[in-house]
Amino acid sequence: MQKQNGRWQAVLFDLDGTLRESHPSANEVLLQQAVALGAQDSPERWKRALQWAHFYWADSLTLVRDQRRFRKWDAAFWTHYTRRQLIAFGCSPAEAAWMAPKVQTYMQEQYRPEDRFFPGVPEMLQALRERGYRLGVLSNRREPFREYLEEARLAQYFDLILAAGEVGVWKPDRRIFDIAARRLRTPPQDIVYVGDNYFADILGAQQAGLFAVLVDPKEVFAEMPCPTVRVVTEVGRWVE
């Protein structure tokens, strides 16, 4: 990925789904349970449901309305969310209504994912640092997560660690990318941004003038017009 008229100065990463994952993913387990309860199964239905989930969590109006309605992340909220995702999966409203409580109960009682960073992430970050890039991580988390990265022995690689909740602005709002660029002391046009959510990460970064690369291992957004990699460590080979 050769930059015209010069060299990239910084690489800014999303955190969840980009540098790290919950394995297996909540989306994967939720939809598997729906299929076990009788929902029809097909690659296209999975794709639609996963695209919907990315859109929902990209600070969508639907999410904002749901937050105002429920006010806290309790069982009622998650059952409501599950019903929405099942409809996106192709279930009828009636099917989604009776499946959602069962699926949510399973998730609450049985879902215990492994928290892990993707293979090769430390080596990629080290290589980028050695090549002189400023590095940052920008997450839509509400709470600071520097300590989390310190425990993983990754904080040392980053010049910027920023949670959206610290500044009260969430991706895809371009203002949070502007804030990150200022704190990295780098013009937006000299920053490569890497994330896994097309709606929150890619569209937001593009609007702010960053060069955005999508991490899309399941090709959920294969038709979208943006540079794409299957695994985040491929980005290290692209940046020149």
- Digit-coded pLDDT (tens) for 5-45: 568 999 999 999 999 999 999 999 999 999 999 999 999 99
What mean pLDDT value characterizes the chain?
95
Crossing angle (nearest 10°) for helices 43-56 and 26-36: 130
**Which amino acid is residue 47, in one-letter code?**
K
- Digit-coded pLDDT (tens) for 50-85: 999 999 999 888 998 998 899 788 999 999 999 999
Q: Strand 20-23 to strand 114-117: parallel, antiparallel, or no bridges (unpaired)?
A: antiparallel
Query: What pairs with residue 161 in β-bridges?
Result: 137
Nearest to 213 by CA among 224, 200, 202, 223: 202
> What are the helix (H) ranges across 26-92?
26-36, 43-56, 61-70, 75-88
